[in-house]
Chain A
Amino acid sequence: MTDLKAQVEQFLADHPTEGADAVEWLGARFDAGLAWVHFPVGLGGLGASRSAQQAVDEAFLAANAPQPNPAAPVIGYGMAAPTILKFGTDEQRQRFLRPLYTGEEVWCQLFSEPGAGSDLATLATRAVRDGDEWIVDGQKVWTTMGHVARWGILVARTDPSLPKHQGLSYFLCDMTDPGVEVRPLRQITGEAEFNEVFLSGVRVPDAYRLGAVGEGWKVATTTLMNERVTIGAHAAEREDGLIGAVTKTWRERPELRTPGLHDRLLRLWVDAEALRLTAERLRQGLAAGQPGPEGSAAKLTFATLNQAITGLDVELHGEEGLSYKDWTMRRPTDADWASRDAGFRYLRMKGNSIEGGTSEILRNIIADRILQLPKEPRGDVDIPWKDLPR
């Protein structure tokens, strides 16, 4: 650990942060193994323990170091990177991880389809083998950052004669390929953060397949697990996140306070603190090599809490709560919600219980895997996908 500290200091001495080009600087940080210290040497890490990462991040933050592109993190950092690390070939890891980290290449997730959301394994996008390539046809939807993404993680059906979970494969899709069309899909906030993606005769090299043919569900499960942990294990400092926006208003604008809102605010403050500590327990458990199941709890609680906090925030604003800053249809390139108005946040956070697996699906997962309750009867597991009623 002290060793790592010295390395960070040495790195900062060799790479001044002031006026640095972010991509170049982050590239150097990656090459020094200080990006994700628990990744292997040569892939942004030092093979160190996970527990060391936080101290490293904090040291760089304190030094005002360039930070990765805010558009990249959730899908690129949180989901694509760990999946590529776990299932990728050496070539794939070498090719993709560095530009993913520096933010040169933004990632999107091509999972959901009009006919397959919660029941993702029913998806219909086909990939048919043609020599060293796969030809992909289908339609994806709700694709966050699809319009700025250079790469997409893609799940497609490679064998319709098998039951739905078995006939899937996982690919890395070049969003600049001919045949990939990204159309904005306007959201309730007025913006188009997500998109529809049409895939027509897209040729994906077999070298961009992640994991074995037919093992796409297993790879996707890793991505989805990481998605929950990424979304859930978020807040770090007390009053970080949305609760901070409300407490700020509360402190600065005494004229808005009412007794009823006061107790609601304090309850939410307590719940936000409980969530922060749950996420911190998850982090400490991971660092100590005892990953707990708190990731699912955190994602579920996070969604409910954010919705309650942003609802309170609109009410707290009184008459201003009636107005909305801007309904202009934009295609944002980052996920900067902290600076947005209360109305925007209220609407956007409605997505927290839908994106990354709905709260209902998460409860099913907790009931099955953690509580090991008897499963709900279902009739779709052993039937070939092509014979399923749709």
Chain B
Amino acid sequence: MSDLLYGEVENDLRASVRDLLTDRSPWTSVLARVETDKPYDLELWRTLAAEMGLAGLLVPEDLGGAGASAREVAVVLEELGRAVTPTPFLGSAVLATTALLAAGDTETVAELAAGQRIGALAVSLTTAPNAAFPSAVKVVDGKLTGRVGSVADLEVADVVVVPAIGADGPELHVVQTASAGVTVTPITPLDLTRRIATLELADVESRKLSGDAAAALRTALTTGAGLLAAEQLGVAQWCLDATTEYVATRHQFGRPIGSFQALRHRLADLWASVSGAVAVSRAAADALATGSDVDIAVAVAASYCSELAVHAAEEALQLHGGIGMTWEHPVHLYLGRAKSSELALGTPERHRDALASFVDLPA
């Protein structure tokens, strides 16, 4: 049975990430930033990635990483979700890094691990682990041409891992975004805290990776989906905590509204659902760390946590009343993150479809 608790190292890691985010990325500054053309605080990213070594958590020590596992990454993502921090952590340290590692790259992954450069994986953020290999980018005479929309964290990426179709089928390529022929066009996102952009490649020079491209991409997307569940847990946890705090202080009808049973019961139910999310997301992180039972654990966590995060954010908004509908209150940042990440890396239905085949419950 997998280990579903948080270990001491994980608790320490959580505490230091939370301290840093409380200090450097409170929601007031997140809110201020998302309206500028610099939503990502790259100074903060440097601290997280390079100084704290978080960008290299999944990278083995001999490649310059921390040699940690998905369990630690999950804890970091819980905190990043809880603070809706705009960082390229998911795109660079999870998606691009796992794709590179799975395809046998050592060079680019070391740069990403060191936090010197930022990476992205050139697929639409909605791509599910069991999706067909993307065919939007073609390799013609050794150069890449094509267009990919909704790539997460692309606008701050220095390097992109691009799935492409070559003469013999699927390939993975590494492209420098500064290369000639690369155009990055930001898209106005529903989730203000995780940016998406369109990537256009016109006869672009690249470096082809040698490993099995389809398998590497699938690994990256599976890892991404399993770990995104931890981020969604963090979002839900914030919504529960903030709402619990709010209803305890807000008075109507001469009482704190949190003493009305209708609200107490909704929050009790939400708490019970969040307990379930802790369990499934821990199970997915543990499965990714040990390599056993990965497919089922990830499908369960992705389906459960995606829906829970949306539900938690919607409950939070409703129970905050009018203030929840205002721009100046952070709940909309959480709602945007939750709803967008429900679509990310496979919708809940898509994961349940995959699950049906993993556990032999055919339609």
Q: Identify the A interface with B (CB < 8 A).
A: 239, 247, 250-251, 254, 257, 259, 262-263, 265-267, 269-271, 273-275, 277-278, 280-281, 284-285, 288, 290, 293-294, 296-298, 300-301, 360, 362-364, 366-367, 370-377
Instruction: Tell whether, in the assembled complex, residue A288 and residue B283 are in contact, meaning their CB atoms are under 8 Å apart.
Output: no
Interface residues of B (CB under 8 A from A): 1, 3-5, 244, 247-248, 255-256, 258-261, 263-265, 267-269, 271-273, 275-280, 282-283, 300, 303-304, 349, 352-353, 355-356, 359-363
Q: A266-B352, A274-B280, A300-B272 are in contact. Are A373 and B363 (CB under 8 A)?
A: no
* Residues of chain A within 8 A of B283, CB atoms compared: 277
> B4 and A281: CB pair below 8 A?
yes
Extra contacts besides A259-B363, A274-B279, A278-B279 (17): CB < 8 Å: A262-B356, A267-B352, A269-B355, A270-B304, A271-B276, A277-B279, A278-B275, A284-B5, A290-B5, A296-B272, A297-B275, A297-B276, A360-B265, A366-B268, A371-B267, A373-B267, A374-B248
Known: A262-B363, A284-B5, A367-B267. A375 touches B259 (CB 8 A): yes
CA distance A280 to B72 in the complex (A): 20
Is the CB–CB distance between B300 and A273 below 8 Å?
yes
With both beta carbons as reference points, the residue of chain B lying nearest to A376 in the complex is identified as: B259
Q: A274-B304, A373-B259, A374-B256 are in contact. Are A366 and B272 (CB under 8 A)?
A: yes
- The answer to whether A266 touches B356 (Cβ under 8 A) is yes
Q: Which residue of A lies closest to B356 (CB)?
A: A266
Which of B1, B248, B361 contacts A266 (CB under 8 A)? Answer: B361
Main SS class of interface, A: helix
Q: Out of B268, B349, B361, name the residue touching A371 (CB < 8 Å).
A: B268
Q: In the complex, are the beta carbons of A270 and B272 less than 8 A apart? A: no
A374 and B271 contacting across the interface, CB-CB below 8 Å: no
Q: How far is the CB of B89 from chain A (nearest CB, A)?
A: 25
Question: B259–A377 contact, CB under 8 A?
Answer: yes
- B182 vs chain A, min Cβ distance (A): 40
Which residues of B sit under 8 angstroms from A294, Cβ to Cβ? 275, 279
Residue pair B361, A376 in contact (C-beta under 8 Å): no
Contact A270 to B261, CB < 8 A, known contacts A370-B271, A373-B248: no
Bound: A298/B303 CA distance, A: 19
Question: What is the CB-to-nearest-CB distance from B258 to chain A, in angstroms, rounded to a whole number?
Answer: 4
CB pair A374 B259 closer than 8 Å: yes
9 contacts between A and B (CB under 8 A): A257-B363, A262-B363, A266-B303, A269-B359, A278-B275, A278-B276, A280-B1, A284-B4, A363-B268
Q: How far is the CA of A82 from the CA of B244 in the complex (A)?
A: 33
| Complex contact A364–B349 (CB within 8 A) | no
Shortest CB distance A127–B (Å):
33
Could you say which residues of chain A place their CB within 8 Å of the CB of B268?
300, 362-364, 366-367, 370-371
Kindly list chain B residues whose C-beta atoms are within 8 Å of the C-beta of A290.
5
Cβ contact within 8 Å between B1 and A270? no
Q: Is the CB of B275 within 8 A of A263?
A: no
Closest Cβ of chain B to A59, distance in Å, is: 15
Q: How far is the CA of A294 from the CA of B283 in the complex (A)?
A: 16
Asked if B276 contacts A301 (CB within 8 A), the reply is yes
B37 CB → nearest A CB, Å: 40
In contact, B264 and A363 (Cβ under 8 angstroms): yes
The answer to whether B356 touches A277, judged by C-beta atoms less than 8 angstroms apart, is no
B258 touches A374 (CB 8 A): yes
**CB pair A301 B360 closer than 8 Å:** no
Residues in chain A near residue B279, CB distance under 8 A:
274, 277-278, 280-281, 294
Report if A273-B361 is in contact (Cβ < 8 Å); known contacts: A263-B349, A284-B4, A364-B261: no
Closest Cβ of chain B: how far from A250's Cβ, in Å?
A: 6
What residues of A have a CB within 8 angstroms of the CB of B271 in the complex?
297, 366, 370-371
Q: Is the CB of B261 within 8 A of A277?
A: no
Which residue of A280, A301, A375 is within 8 Å of B272 (Cβ)? A301
CB B246 to nearest CB in A, in angstroms, measures: 11
User: Which chain A residue lies CB-closest to B4?
Assistant: A281
Q: Which 6 A-B residue pairings sit nearest by Cβ, starting from the closest? A: A277-B279, A367-B264, A363-B268, A274-B276, A366-B268, A297-B272
> In the docked arrangement, what's the CA distance between A297 and B278, Å?
12
> Which of A285, A297, A360, A375 meets B5, CB within 8 Å?
A285
- Distance (Å) between the CB of B342 and the closest chain A CB? 14
Q: Is B248 a contact of A288 with CB atoms below 8 Å?
A: no
Instruction: Tell me, in angstroms, the Cα distance from A66 to B307 when the chains sit together.
Output: 43
* Smallest beta-carbon distance A379→chain B, Å: 14
A373 touches B255 (CB 8 A): no
- Which of B255, B259, B265, B303 contacts A270, CB < 8 Å? B303
Chain A's closest residue to B303 (CB) is: A270
Cα separation A263 to B303 with both chains bound (whole Å): 12
- Bound-state CA distance A63–B120 (Å) is 53
Would you give the shortest CB distance from A9 to chain B, in whole angstroms? Answer: 22
The smallest beta-carbon distance between A18 and chain B, in angstroms, is 30
- Tell me if B275 and A376 are in contact (CB < 8 A): no
Q: A273-B280, A366-B271 are in contact. Are A373 and B258 (CB under 8 A)?
A: yes
Residues of chain B within 8 A of A371, CB atoms compared? 244, 264, 267-268, 271
Q: Is there an interface contact between B276 and A288, defined as CB atoms closer than 8 Å?
A: no
List chain A residues, Cβ under 8 A from B277: 274
Residues of A within 8 A of B260 (CB): 376
Task: Return B343 CB to nearest CB of chain A, in Å.
Answer: 17
Contacts of A250 in B (CB 8 A): 361
Chain A residues contacting B269 (CB-CB under 8 Å) are: 300, 363
Q: How far is the CA of A293 from the CA of B269 in the complex (A)?
A: 14
User: In the complex the two chains form, is B3's CB within 8 Å of A284's CB?
Assistant: yes
Please determine whether B4 and A277 come into contact, CB atoms closer than 8 angstroms: yes
Residue of B nearest to A257 (CB): B363
Residues of B within 8 A of A265 (CB): 361
Chain B positions within 8 Å of A296 at CB level? 272
Q: Would A275 and B276 be within 8 Å (CB), given that A247-B361, A262-B356 are in contact?
A: yes
